[in-house]
């Protein structure tokens, strides 16, 4: 697992569908130099999904952006800004989530009795 001080990528959610890459660049450039912005789109129809990854030039600027811009109102929504997780971190979390889903009891619909 990498240390918090080395994080350079930011995960931004709840972005308005009207936002452009230029709008995000202007917002995040307040905290430092923006290296790249990747706005996630739907593969089928190409529509923006309201999620983006922003890469800052160094870890200090990333930390400033997360602290300063989380909860900021952009056009008509409050955006959520957090450190992006690496693929290794996501893979490490996945087995726990799968196990939790398997151990949950299924709810019996109303009007039906349990069959033993």
Dihedral class, residue 44 (left if φ above 0, else alpha if ψ from -120 to 50, else beta): alpha
20-79 pLDDT tens trace: 999 999 999 999 999 999 999 999 999 999 999 999 999 999 999 999 999 999 998 999
Domain boundaries, the chain: 4-103
Q: Which residue is associated with the tokens 């398997």?
A: 102
Classify domain 4-103 at the CATH superfamily level. Answer: RRM (RNA recognition motif) domain (3.30.70.330)
Q: The pTM is what?
A: 0.72
Q: What is the pLDDT of residues 77-114, one digit of tens each?
A: 999 999 998 878 777 776 655 555 555 566 666 666 66
Q: Dig out the tokens for 65 from the structure.
A: 């952006």
């Amino acid at each position: 697992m990498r240390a918090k001080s080395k994080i350079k990528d930011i995960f931004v959610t709840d972005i308005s569908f009207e936002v452009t890459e230029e709008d995000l660049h202007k917002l995040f450039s307040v905290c430092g130099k923006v290296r790249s912005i990747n706005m996630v789109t739907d593969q089928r129809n190409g529509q923006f999904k309201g999620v983006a990854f922003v890469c800052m030039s160094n870890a200090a600027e990333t930390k400033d952006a997360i602290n300063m811009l989380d909860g900021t109102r952009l056009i008509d929504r409050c955006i959520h800004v957090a450190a992006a997780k690496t693929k290794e971190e996501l893979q490490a979390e996945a087995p726990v989530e799968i196990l939790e889903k398997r151990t949950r009891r299924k709810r019996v619909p109303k009007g039906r009795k349990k069959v033993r």
